[in-house]
Amino acid sequence: MNVLLTGGCGYIGSHVAVVLMSEGHDAVIVDNLSNSRREVVDHIAQIVGRPPTFYQGDVGEFEFIRDVIRRHRIDSVIHLAGFKSVGESVQRPLQYYQNNVCGALGLLHAMEAESVSSLVFSSSATIYGDPQYLPVDEAHPQHVINAYGRSKLHIEDMLRDICISRPSLGVICLRYFNPVGAHPSGLIGDRPNGIPNNLMPYVVQVACGERDFLSVFGGDYRTPDGTGVRDYIHVMDLAEGHVAALNYLSTNNGWHAFNVGTGRGYSVLEMIRAFEGESGRAIPYKITARREGDVACSYADIRAAALELNWKATRSLEDMCSSAWRFQSRLSKA
């Protein structure tokens, strides 16, 4: 299959590219490198043994995307390109709507013009807001509380409408929980620009001495140890979930949404301990005030993906931590 991967140089997209290409598919990456580096393309090639096709450009540019789709006879699209920082989206909502929603619109117009009828979209568990019950299933009410989440929900809703108007179209919205870890080679991984917002990249930077300590945001949540609980999923499991989604779309049309998690939550302190165990490094931390917008506990009901996509996460917490550490150690040596 010829698959267009938007945002394929990013953290998740690069792992999806590796898994897709390893299974014999051809990956065509479009990325404007606003949050990634060109060298990722070489690292993907090094892992897989052949290079993906790469275009530097914006997913919202209709003519450009249409031309890529036509030239490479694209069968399916995996749309990962977008901005993803919750905090930044509160400060700069227009940029988030512009890049995420308008970007998706440009892509969708191009897909329609070229009759591409299969799309996997990177959505987020953030659209559920503060869980009213656990585990969170796909029918959970949606209570977005920031522009990032709302941009994801707008796109999900647009996709629903488009599926009604074009019955031949098949769309899967994958609602990611908390992707962490890296490819076992240590060649690709999570490498955010600037100060990391997310827990795991911050922890690895503390472990290698780039930062003095981790601020644990809140120690008084109603959770077993008082710190926030999340459903961390290995990025390689997540990447494999995308291939399962594409396979599903080869025989199913219409709009679908699936949670992508492990179904198990870990607290911040459990994550610190697991990481210390795998890296052999101490992670100094201080419990500080809660971060605005954080929920106490969130983990996924994963039955729908297991049943429909025939996919389940298999990698352990230890694997998530050791692979993240391997990636960071290689970066630190470079």
Any idea what DSSP says for residue 334?
-
Cβ closest to ligand UFG, residue 232 vs residue 255: 232
The item of ligand UFG, ligand NAD, none sharing an interface with residue 122, based on CB under 5 to 8 Å by kind, is: ligand NAD
- Residue 259 in the binding site for ligand UFG (CB under 6 A): no
Which residue's structure tokens are 């799309």? Answer: 119
The reply on whether position 199 binds ligand UFG by CB under 6 A is yes
Among 99, 146, 227, 279, binds ligand NAD (CB under 6 A): 99
Among ligand UFG, ligand NAD, none, residue 202 binds (CB under 5-8 Å by kind): ligand UFG
Partner whose binding site includes residue 332, from ligand NAD, ligand UFG, none (CB under 5 to 8 Å by kind): none
Evaluated on CA atoms 169, 261, 45, 37, the torsion sign reads: positive
* Token code pair at residue 209: 């001495």
232 touching ligand NAD, by CB under 6 A: no
Other beta carbons less than 10 A from residue 253's beta carbon: 15
* Amino acid sitting at position 306: A
197 near ligand UFG, rule: CB under 6 A: yes
Locate 172 and state its tokens. 């899967």
The mark string for 116-155 relative to ligand NAD (x by CB under 6 A, - otherwise) is ------x-x-------------------------------
- Would the CA dihedral through 50, 1, 82, 148 be positive or negative? negative
Selecting among 96, 97, 128, 148, the annotated active-site residue is 148
Cα→Cα distances 25→71, 246, 318, Å: 16, 11, 30
- Paired tokens of 76: 């399916």
Q: Which residue reads 């070229």 in tokens?
A: 114
Q: Does 294 bind ligand UFG (CB under 6 A)?
A: yes
Does position 115 bind ligand UFG by CB under 6 A? Answer: no
Pick the closer one to ligand UFG by CB: 19 or 125: 125
Q: Establish if 72 lies at the interface with ligand UFG (CB under 6 A).
A: no
State which of residues 17, 58, 119, 299 lies at the interface with ligand NAD (CB under 6 A). Answer: 58
Using DSSP's 3-state secondary structure scheme, residue 114 falls into coil
Tokens 């996709």 identify what position? 159
Judged by beta carbon, residue 214 or residue 245, the one nearer ligand UFG is 214
Residue 10 engages ligand NAD in binding (rule: CB under 6 A):
yes
Q: Which residues fall within 8 angstroms of residue 290, CB to CB, at 6 or more apart?
A: 217, 218, 220, 221
CB atoms within 10 A of CB 81: 28
Q: Which is nearer to ligand UFG, 202 or 325 (CB)?
A: 202
Question: What 3 state SS string does 132-154 have?
Answer: CCCCECCCCCCCCCCHHHHHHHH
Task: Count each helix (H run) and each strand (E run) in the chain, helices first.
Answer: 12, 13
* Residue 227 engages ligand NAD in binding (rule: CB under 6 A): no
Work out which of 9, 65, 172, 246 binds ligand NAD, going by CB under 6 A: 9
148 catalytically annotated: yes
CA distance 51 to 183: 17
Check if the beta carbon of residue 319 is closer than 8 Å to that of residue 231.
no
> Does 238 help bind ligand UFG (rule: CB under 6 A)?
no
Q: Strand, coil or helix: what is 29?
A: strand
- Of the candidate residues 170, 179, 218, 265, the single one contacting ligand NAD (CB under 6 A): 179
**Does residue 33 interact with ligand NAD by CB under 6 A?**
yes
The contact set with ligand NAD (CB under 6 A) reads 6-7, 9-13, 30-36, 58-60, 80-82, 84, 99, 103, 122, 124, 176, 178-179
The contact set with ligand UFG (CB under 6 A) reads 84, 86, 124-126, 177-178, 197-199, 202, 214-217, 228, 230, 268, 291, 294, 298
Residues labelled as active-site residues: 148
